Structure 1
Amino acid sequence: MNENTFWQFIDDCRLPTPDPDAQQLAAALTARLSAGPLATVVGFAEQLSWALYRLDRKEYGRELSSDSFLYTRAAVVAAGRETYEIVLQDPAHFVPYATGLIWAESLLYAPDRAYEHITGEEWDRSTRYSYESYSNTAGWADA
């Protein structure tokens, strides 16, 4: 899955009404990914990890706990490509997410749930980039 397809999945599954914890987005993504094929699930997980990894920098998360920072970065992704790109270009746009503790933890589990639906097995996955907080060593070089 390429980056454009990833963002199209996010946009197609987002609701026009507020979804503060991205629960509905995650459910819609899980359903769409569960339709297969498995390669789409894996590709989505890779792109999600990459998007979260790119936001894993000290200028965004120096004041947040590991979990808060991860779930807040997920909320930026859940807001869609346009918001994500704005935040990526200017960390000041991350502040409303961090200070309001806008979380989208459920987004993280959509590919895992889809994988389990397709295969009947739990996914012991690893992606090229870790989405865990502080894993982007270049982003925290001077921290």
Structure 2
Amino acid sequence: MNEDAFWQLIEDCTPTGPDPDADLLAATLTERLARSPLSLVIGFAEQLSWALYRLDRKEYGHNLGEDAFLYTRAVVVAAGRTEFNRVLHDPTAFTPYASDLIWAESLLYTPDQAYKRITGEEWNRDTRYSYESFSNTEGWAD
């Protein structure tokens, strides 16, 4: 899955009503991915980790704890490509996300849940980029 397909899938699965913690988005994405080839699930996981990794930088940290920072970055991804790019190019645009304490933790489990539905097994996956907070050493360098 390329980056355009990733963002299109996010857009296609975004609910029309309020979904502050992206639970509906995650459920819809899981459904869609579970009906797709396994390669799409893997590609989605790679693109998701890449997007989260790109936001893993000190200018976004805002003194958030490890989990809070990860889940807040997930909210930015759940907001879609336009908002993600806005935040990526203007770190001050991350501040409202960090202040609101809205988390999109469920988005992180989407590929794992789809994988399990397809294969019946747990996915002990590694992606090229770690989405864990503070793993982007270049983003945290002085």
Query: Which TM bucket (shorter chain)?
Result: over 0.9
Task: Tell me the C-alpha RMSD between the 2 structures.
Answer: 0.5
Aligned residue number for residue 48 of structure 1? 48
Aligned residue number for residue 29 of structure 1? 29
Q: Secondary structure at the match of 1:41?
A: helix
Aligned residue number for residue 119 of structure 2? 119
Q: Distance in 2 between matches of 1:87 and 1:15?
A: 21
Q: CA deviation at 1:91?
A: 0.5
Task: Give me the TM-score of the superposition, normalised by structure 2.
Answer: 0.99
Q: Distance in 2 between matches of 1:141 and 1:39?
A: 34
Tell whether 2:135 aligns with 1:138.
Answer: no
Tell whether 2:88 aligns with 1:84.
Answer: no
Q: CA deviation at 1:62?
A: 4.1
Q: CA deviation at 1:11?
A: 0.2
Q: Secondary structure at the match of 1:10?
A: helix
Q: Secondary structure at the match of 2:109?
A: helix
Aligned residue number for residue 70 of structure 2? 70
Q: Distance in 2 between matches of 1:65 and 1:21?
A: 18
Q: Distance in 2 between matches of 1:131 and 1:68?
A: 13
Q: Secondary structure at the match of 1:130?
A: coil
Aligned residue number for residue 57 of structure 2? 57
Q: Secondary structure at the match of 1:72?
A: helix
Task: Give me the TM-score of the superposition, normalised by structure 1.
Answer: 0.98
What 5-or-longer segments of structure 1 have no aligned partner? Answer: none
Aligned residue number for residue 104 of structure 1? 104
What 5-or-longer segments of structure 2 have no aligned partner? Answer: none
Q: Secondary structure at the match of 1:67?
A: helix
Q: CA deviation at 1:18?
A: 1.3
Q: Could you tell me whether the CA contact under 8 Å between 2:21 and 2:104 is conserved in 1?
A: yes
> One-letter code of the match for 1:71?
Y
Q: CA deviation at 1:36?
A: 1.6
Q: Distance in 1 between matches of 2:15 and 2:62?
A: 31
Percent identity, aligned pairs only? 70
Runs of 4+ in 1 over 4 A off after TM superposition: none
Cα offsets for 1:82-131 (capped at 9, x unmatched): 00000000011000000111210000000000000000000000000000
